[in-house]
Structures are given as structure tokens and as C-alpha cells.
Amino acid sequence: MNNNYLELYKKYFIPSYEPVNFVPTHGHGSHLYNGDNVDLIDFAGGVAATALGQTNELLIEALTKQANQLWHVGNIFTNLPQLELAQKLIENTCFDKVFFSNCGTEAVEAALKLAKRYALKTYGDQKCEIVAFNNAFHGRTLLSVSTGGQAKYRNGFEPLPLAIKHAPFNQLNGLEDLITSNTAAVILEPIQAEGGVIPAKLEFLQKIRELCDLHHVALIFDEVQTGMGRTGSLFAYIQYGVEPDIIAVAKALANGFPIGATLAKEPFTSGFEFASHGATFGGNPLSCAVANKTFDIINNKDFLNAVSAKHKLLVDELYKINQKLDLYCDIRGKGLIVGAELHDKYKGNAYKLVHIAIKHRVSVLNASPNVTRFLPALNIPEADIKEGMKRLANALVEFKQLLA
Ligand SMILES: Cc1ncc(COP(=O)(O)O)c(C=O)c1O
């Protein structure tokens, strides 16, 4: 294999991503290293997945212990790590039952299918509509791109599944006409992540909860990105005090080891029966063993309080940089999901910064073309936040010069 990795990538991969010019070969905590041992401070956290950073010793121990016992058995068997994880998830949330899959998209897909099947079985064919919101992101299957509220992910995949309505996020006006007795499910992200780090207004969630109760509609929260401590509570719904009926979880559930989970309350759980749905690798012993340890570490009051404290540090540092450079018009988010929105003058260029930042040895993300997004490990040390922000300041100087 030659070591011009990006050339190899272009040659062999169906185009879909544009990897940056840094190929991580190893990592520790919030640092990624390439083959030359150049380090990068990671504010992207594997897109909200590596909540406990790289090579966490406790997780390595859990994974290797399980790797020496049992890898995969398929769903004619249950297994001990999945039973343990199911118990943890259910006993620490408002939900009654779980279905395991492999990623966020699958967790969303199972949530929508469960809600639709429950509605159809209980109330008949006409209760089939899904209500979703503009700008949302729910994954990449045909059903999830259709449910998501961003045309760029749907274009070219038509015809799309029918009976999905979209409405403006955070707008209370019109909700009564949107959520009716024909609605099977309403799906939303409590903080629209990919769409620009836009937190839902409490009144918006409360109104939707009220209408879902009135019309016997399953309210689904997609907490693939906001779940597992990201906002400073185990799930964002806990912070809002608004309980969904179904929740989709993935990403940080096993710290980047592939897993998805759909948790649901009664009576929506009865949407599925034997063979209604399935996933060969869903609930496999390896990912569940890692998830069990991840869950124990994150589901701890002190740990979660520290996430909120780190929010303050990260945002304070960002404000200081912005006072000098005046690139951002808004800095927002909860816990360690933070978005900084570019001034009109710089709009459309957030992705450019992702690449420039790598040159300055710090990794950030965009969210929409206008927002810089931060999703560092939840246990990132304060010193790494400060050092990463120093590097980001240099990257932002270059960004500003480029766009002058
Ligand atoms: C809110 C949300 N839902 C669903 C998904 C899809 O998850 P995955 O890429 O694991 O399939 C993502 C991924 O970014 C997400 O942020």
C-alpha cells in the first residue's frame, strides 16, 4: 500500500466523503495522532460518538474480556451483555422496552416502523402520517432521508416514501393543523444537530406533547446525537422535562463501537411482534459489553455535572476568540454540543474551516454550511479545551484572511 492515502482513497472509494488531509493511526483521550506522531486535538469526537475519548482503558478491558468469550450468536439466542444493557437503559429512563440495532439510522428506522405499525394495528389504515421538521437530520436510509428536513439528502432518490409532512422547527403556529388523528408519529431532535445546533424551545416540545396525547400519536425523539450525556443529562428529554414515547439512541452508546437502540413506552411497544423487525448484529455481545461500561461511566451525577462545567469553559474561550475576530453572530448549545453561527459575510463557508483547522492541529465540524460545531469527548480535560481553542484561534485567523 503506498502512503499517499488520499490518492488511494479517491481511487478506491465510491465518492461520498471528502476526508481531511490527516489520517489518524492512533489516539488517546482527546488526541488523535497520525503515522508521524503529529497530534490533533479532537473537538469532533467521531461526530459525537467517542464520548469517553480514544483508547479508554476501562472500555478496552470490557471489550477484550468479551472478545475472549463470545463475539456473535444471532438473534435466535439472547446474550448476557444485551440483557444487562437492556436492564440499564430501561431502569434509568422513562421507557419500558428496547430494540437493539447497529447505528443511528437503524434506531430511527425501528422507531418509525414501530410507531406506524402500532397506529395501523390499533386505529386502522388512515392513521399513517409522519410529522417531521424542516432542517432535521434523521439518517440516510430512504425512510430517514425522507423524514429528515433537508432536501440535499433526498435529491436524486425519488420516488420517496409518502405520508411524511414537514413543518418549521420551533414554530407553534400551525401545529394543531399538522398533528391530527391521521398522524402516527411525530419525530424531532431536541437539539437539531446537523441542521445547525438549534435547541428546541420548551413551549414547542410541550405543545407537541399535548397534541400527541390528544390524538394518540407516538412522539419520537431522535437523541442519536444528543443522548448519552452530551447535553449534561443522560438524555436531553430529561433536561427539558418532556417525555417522548419512543427514543432513538446510538453514537456514544458504546463510545463509537457500532450500536443503535430504540427505546419505547407501552403501549407503543406492541407495534412489533415476533419477526416484525430484526437486525443480524443488533445487540451483539461485543458492542453491548462496551456499551455497558460506557453507560456506567456516563450515568453518574458528577460526570454529567462536569459536562455542564466544560460547556462554560468551551463557550467562554470561544467568546474570547470571537471578541478579537468577530466571525460569529451566535454561540449556542447545551453541554458539549455547541454551535457557533457565522456572520452573514462568512455564511456558506463553515466546511472550509473544517479543513483549515486540521492544518492547525485541531478538529471541528460544521453543522449546516453556516455553523461551526463542537462535539468533543465528554471527559475532555480542561487543558485540552484551552490548547484546542488556541489552535482554533490560529485557524480562524487564516479563515478570515482567506475570505477577506
Ligand atoms: C440526530 C441524528 N439522527 C440519526 C443519525 C444517523 O446516525 P448513523 O450515522 O449512526 O446512522 C445521526 C447521525 O449523524 C444524527 O445526528
> Is 64 within the bounds of a domain?
no
Question: Do residue 104 and residue 203 come from a single domain?
Answer: yes
Question: Do residue 39 and residue 148 come from a single domain?
Answer: no
* Structure confidence at residue 359 as a pLDDT band (50, 70, 90): very high
Distance 224 CA to ligand 1 centre (A): 6
Q: What is the mean pLDDT of residues 192-221?
A: 98
Atom of ligand 1 nearest to the CA of 136: 1
Question: Do residue 268 and residue 184 come from a single domain?
Answer: yes
Ligand 1, pocket residues at CB < 6 Å: 47, 103-105, 108, 137-139, 189, 193-194, 222, 224-225, 250
pLDDT of residue 330: 98
- Count of domains for the chain: 2
pLDDT of residue 178: 97
- 102: domain range? 70-298
pLDDT of residue 158: 84
Question: Do residue 126 and residue 235 come from a single domain?
Answer: yes
User: Which residue stretches of 126-255 are H helix?
Assistant: 142-147, 151-154, 175-178, 202-215, 236-240
Question: Do residue 284 and residue 215 come from a single domain?
Answer: yes
Distance 90 CA to ligand 1 centre (A): 22
Q: How many CB atoms lie within 10 A of CB 336?
A: 27
pLDDT of residue 61: 98
Atom of ligand 1 nearest to the CA of 194: 16
Residue nearest (by alpha carbon) to ligand 1 atom 16:
225
Atom of ligand 1 nearest to the CA of 105: 11
Residue nearest (by alpha carbon) to ligand 1 atom 7:
104
**For the chain, what is the radius of gyration of the CA atoms?**
21
Q: Write the pLDDT tens digit of every residue in 279-307.
A: 999 999 999 999 999 999 999 999 999 99
Q: Write the pLDDT tens digit of every residue in 112-128.
A: 999 999 999 999 999 99
- At residue 259, does pLDDT exceed 90? yes
Question: Do residue 146 and residue 245 come from a single domain?
Answer: yes
Q: How far apart are CA 30 and CA 43, in angstroms?
A: 8
DSSP E strands, 3-142 = 26-28, 31-33, 39-42, 97-101, 129-133
Distance 370 CA to ligand 1 centre (A): 19
The answer to whether residues 197 and 338 touch, using CB atoms and an 8 Å cutoff, is: yes
Block residue for cell numbers 453507560: 295
Distance 84 CA to ligand 1 centre (A): 24
Distance 127 CA to ligand 1 centre (A): 26
